[in-house]
Chains A and B, each alone.
Chain A
Amino acid sequence: MSAVRLARPMVDTPFQINMAWWERNRRDFMTFLRESSCPDCLSRFPLDAPLSEADYIDAETGEVRRLNDLWACIVEECAHAPGYISPDLPVATAIFRALVSRGNAPLSPVQIHQIIQRSNPQTILRVLTGPTAILGILPAV
């Protein structure tokens, strides 16, 4: 039974946005990142503004992830704005924003459910393990 669970994602399996998926599928991640930004961060980093990257330190785990200026702004500001993950958003978009707002820290369906305050972990797991990957969100390596 344990071997089956290790092979099949469960509600406590961590998921992440897989950047290699975006490259392989030739999708523009920055467009989706901009759509996930609040107005304040979008105005600070307009479309034509050059973005630099820096080491972003996870406030809970000490993990370091390379985030560009816009993404760091989302983590530090948009994520704390009321209604950033609105109940009106499609579930897949809400899940994407949950990951973006945590700097792409791996999150399980249980944790995603606690952040987006909608649906339930089993349904979120089904969304993430459908026939095609949703917005490049895959089990964390």
Chain B
Amino acid sequence: MAPMFDTPEYWQSFSISGRDLDRVEEVFLDTGVPKTLSELAEIIVQGRLQDDADRQAREANENVRQYQPKFRYEMGQRLRFSALDNAVGTVIGVRDGDNPHVGRITVIRVQMDRGGEREFVADYSAEHPLNVEVKAEATPTSQAAVAPIGDILEQRLGETAEYTAFGDLWFRKDLMPDVHIGHLNIAEALIDVAGEAQPTATLVKEVEIAQGEPAARAFALNYALAHDPDQRFTNTGTDAKPRWALRQGVTV
């Protein structure tokens, strides 16, 4: 069987699932630090590969067959539907099809494991993407999947209220250490006294943010400086290595 990421129908219907978001949430809760999109996408890829391996092991025990329209099926047959996110169901009915344009076909009624009943065509040898045999590859191309999944994940996280970003790093808002106006005032004073832009690492040491891992504190401070309501600060470095200056009167 072809690895999931190598099948065209996988990418045609790919979207970030609730289970993917659960995994993303778990990694933030477990580590307490921000992550890049590549890191999060890799976690999703590995999670899906593990799910796929678990599924194959289960189906090997249950004699589940991959559904293809060209074959005939019998009552009680267990089928896996690759175009429906690998949903599994049991054939509970078989009837003659009724469509004068496609010739003689059979229609199977399937009780889906996840609930509900659906009908599918069988004995249908006409051209259909599911009737194409996909050659198996020796190894999965999980690394190639990371970049496109990262792009889709970025859009999805951007649509949720729980997550926020600074540069390429993403974090959960409810895990961000608290950075308040007092911290920003100290940062402003430090930069002013120094007379030049300061890296985040220097500012974090001095403003004394109480909680969180060092990476979390740095993220929270960067985020707060970038979103200062009084817009006092400007990043004269990069998102990866910020250097914070005051907008007026401080040489970089």
Contacts and interface: CB of A to CB of B under 8 A. Distances in A.
A53 B97 CA distance: 12
Interface in A85-107: none
A141 B83 contact: no
B69 interface: yes
Interface stretch (B18-26, B180-188, B193-201, B220-228): B18-26
A122 B18 CA distance: 14
B105 A122 contact: no
Query: Interface size class for chain B?
Result: 35 or more
Interface in A1-29: 1-2, 5-6, 10-12
Contact of B107 (A1, A2, A10, A64): A64
B130 interface: yes
A108 interface: yes
A2 B20 CA distance: 10
B51 interface: no
A65 B105 CA distance: 14
Contacts of B68: 62
B15 A57 contact: no
Contacts of B135: none
Interface string A102-132: 0000001011000000001110000000000
B124 A62 contact: yes
A133 to B, nearest CB: 18
Contacts of A65: 119
A5 B17 CA distance: 10
A108 B130 CA distance: 21
Contacts of A120: 159
B22 A64 contact: no
A70 B15 CA distance: 32
28 contacts: A1-B22, A6-B18, A10-B18, A11-B159, A12-B16, A12-B17, A12-B18, A53-B98, A55-B97, A55-B105, A55-B119, A55-B121, A57-B99, A57-B105, A57-B124, A60-B12, A60-B13, A60-B129, A61-B81, A62-B81, A62-B120, A62-B124, A63-B119, A63-B120, A64-B121, A108-B15, A120-B159, A141-B115
The 5 A-B residue pairs with the shortest CB-CB distance in the complex, in nearest-first order: A141-B116, A64-B119, A61-B83, A5-B18, A62-B69
Given A55-B99, A63-B119, 17 more contacts: A1-B22, A2-B22, A10-B18, A11-B156, A12-B16, A54-B100, A55-B97, A57-B69, A57-B102, A57-B121, A60-B12, A61-B83, A61-B120, A62-B67, A63-B118, A65-B119, A111-B15
Interface of B: 9, 12-13, 15-19, 21-22, 25, 67-69, 81, 83-84, 97-102, 105, 107, 115-116, 118-121, 124, 128-130, 156, 159-160
